[in-house]
């Protein structure tokens, strides 16, 4: 072998060694930034994966973050047709007298549901919140019961609402985890109304007021969602941002100032986008596995999941995901579409990320007598 061939082999070997070394080196995700707040969370919208957390189940006063649920309830009423955006609401004296942040509606004047909803979302108006609550339920107490019913349906196990505004009450509390769940529900269920949360200013009654979410001016990926502050709650902020196809939700509770909550939210979002990525692993009703079905009109049954499945991992590590399928033994017809027939597991670096049900993607009825007898014989020898 001549010198040229020796050099060529050396170069090939060196490149392969370097490539193997790079591939073997684990990706190091640094610890998240230090945040000066009582409780906080960063959650991926699609996968529900929690990237960062601190005291996320501690029950704390929600301040005006309560209004996220107020908006959520109003959206359901609009969707059901019980109210309309152009409905005229007569402002009660109680709504007019509300203290704190206001949109400055006037007593006994008529205001549209649309304007009131804008006043809640953009100006965080306590007066607008009470006016909507009274219009929908007759009283704020009944409206608070509706809020709690929706919280229960959404799985917000650490939350209780006493009013539509978030004004202090010992029995008015929530958690960072629950607020992330609520924010996701609002974005998912009512994307059109959620879009209003990115509006920077609103003029009503000749008064221009600005959205208190400063990130709307400094980060173009941020499109919501709500600020809050009372003396007991501190400074709070629920934020959502979307960069490319990845949406994150962050919740900050109990910060010591407006600048602190803004900087903390920005820092956590930047950390999440820099070191993590989310991809769709399987689509709804996509065939993941095909298995044998006994005594059916057909011998094969397609299995999958009934929803899109997203997974969040450290950037560049999707190639290291492991998926496994466990199919129930001896599946026998009839089987209905959507019936559970197994389990899908997704793991990464030995850690279980997802455990999901595999379901039948089609209905398989019983086969004719000949097919059933044939499979009975086969099963005797199994």
At the second CATH level, the architecture of 39-279 is: 3-Layer(aba) Sandwich (3.40)
Asked if residues 270 and 263 have their Cβ atoms less than 8 Å apart, the reply is no
Catalytic residue among 39, 47, 101, 124: 124
Annotated catalytic residue, options 39, 67, 101, 295? 67
Structure tokens at 73: 């309830």
Examine the residue annotation and report whether 67 is marked as an active-site residue of this protein.
Answer: yes
The values of phi and psi at residue 296, to 5°, are -110, 175
56, 239, 250, 251, 270 from 267: Cα distances, Å: 18, 12, 10, 12, 5
Domain borders along the chain are: 39-279, 283-380
Q: What pLDDT, on the 0 to 100 scale, is given for residue 348? A: 87
Per the document, the length of the chain is: 382
Rounded Cα–Cα distance for residues 257 and 83 (Å): 37
Using alpha carbons, list the distances in angstroms from residue 37 to 156, 216, 262.
21, 21, 11
**What was the pLDDT predicted at 6?**
42
- The angle formed by the CA atoms of residues 209, 211 and 213, to the nearest 5 degrees, is 150
The model scores a pTM over 0.85 = yes
Catalytic annotation on 64?
yes
| Per-residue pLDDT, 21 | 38
CATH (residue range 283-380) = 2.60.410.10
pLDDT of residue 220: 97
Closest CA to 117 of 109, 128, 107, 127: 128
pLDDT of residue 28: 80
Report the pLDDT value the prediction gives residue 356, as an integer from 0 to 100. 96
- pLDDT by residue (tens digit) across 307-327? 999 999 999 999 999 999 999
265 a catalytic residue: no
Give the model confidence (pLDDT) of 136-157 as tens digits: 999 999 999 999 999 999 999 9
Choice among 39, 47, 64, 101 that is catalytic = 64
Q: Write out the H or E segment, with its range, that includes residue 96.
A: helix 93-96
User: Which tokens go with 171?
Assistant: 């029995």
% of the chain exceeding 70 in pLDDT: 90
- Give the model's pLDDT for residue 27: 60
- Residues 311 and 47 sit within 8 Å (Cβ to Cβ): yes
Cβ neighbors of 329 (< 8 A, separation 6 or more) are none
Q: What is residue 68's predicted lDDT score, i.e. its pLDDT? A: 98
- Work out whether strand 234-243 and strand 246-255 pair parallel, antiparallel, or are unpaired: antiparallel
What residues of the chain score a pLDDT lower than 70? 1-27, 367, 370-377, 379, 381-382
């Amino acid at each position: 072998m001549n010198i040229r061939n020796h050099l060529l082999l050396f170069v090939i070997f060196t490149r392969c060694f370097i490539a193997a070394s790079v591939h073997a080196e684990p990706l190091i995700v640094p610890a998240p930034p230090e945040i000066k707040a009582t409780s906080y969370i960063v959650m991926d919208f699609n996968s529900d994966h929690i990237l960062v957390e601190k005291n996320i189940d501690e029950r704390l006063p929600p301040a005006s973050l309560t209004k996220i649920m107020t908006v959520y309830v109003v959206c359901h009423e609009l969707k059901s047709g019980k109210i309309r955006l152009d409905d005229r609401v007569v402002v009660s004296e109680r709504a007019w007298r509300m203290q704190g942040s206001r949109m400055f509606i006037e007593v006994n004047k008529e205001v549209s549901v649309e304007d009131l909803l804008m006043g809640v979302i953009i100006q965080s108006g306590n007066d607008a919140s009470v006016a909507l609550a009274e219009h929908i339920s007759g009283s704020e107490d009944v409206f608070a019961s509706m809020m709690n019913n929706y919280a229960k349906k959404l799985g917000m196990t650490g939350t209780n609402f006493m009013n539509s505004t978030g004004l202090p009450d010992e029995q008015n509390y929530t958690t960072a985890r629950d607020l992330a769940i609520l924010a996701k529900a609002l974005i998912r269920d009512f994307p059109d109304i959620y879009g209003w949360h990115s509006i920077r200013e609103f003029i009503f009654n000749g008064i221009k007021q600005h959205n208190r979410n400063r990130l709307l001016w400094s980060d173009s990926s941020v499109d919501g969602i709500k600020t809050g502050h009372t003396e007991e709650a501190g400074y709070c902020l629920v934020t959502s941002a979307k960069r490319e196809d990845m949406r994150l939700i962050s919740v900050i509770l109990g910060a010591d100032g407006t600048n602190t909550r803004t900087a903390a939210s920005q820092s956590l979002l930047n950390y999440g986008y820099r070191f993590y990525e989310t991809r769709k692993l399987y689509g709804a009703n996509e065939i993941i596995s095909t298995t044998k079905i006994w005594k059916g009109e057909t011998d094969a049954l397609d299995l999958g999941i009934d929803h899109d499945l997203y997974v969040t991992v450290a950037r560049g590590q999707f190639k290291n995901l492991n998926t496994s399928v466990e199919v129930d033994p001896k599946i026998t017809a009839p089987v209905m579409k959507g019936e559970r027939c197994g389990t899908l597991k997704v793991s990464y670096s030995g850690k279980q990320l997802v455990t999901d049900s595999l379901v039948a993607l089609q209905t398989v009825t019983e086969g004719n007598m000949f097919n059933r007898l044939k499979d009975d014989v086969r099963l005797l020898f199994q």
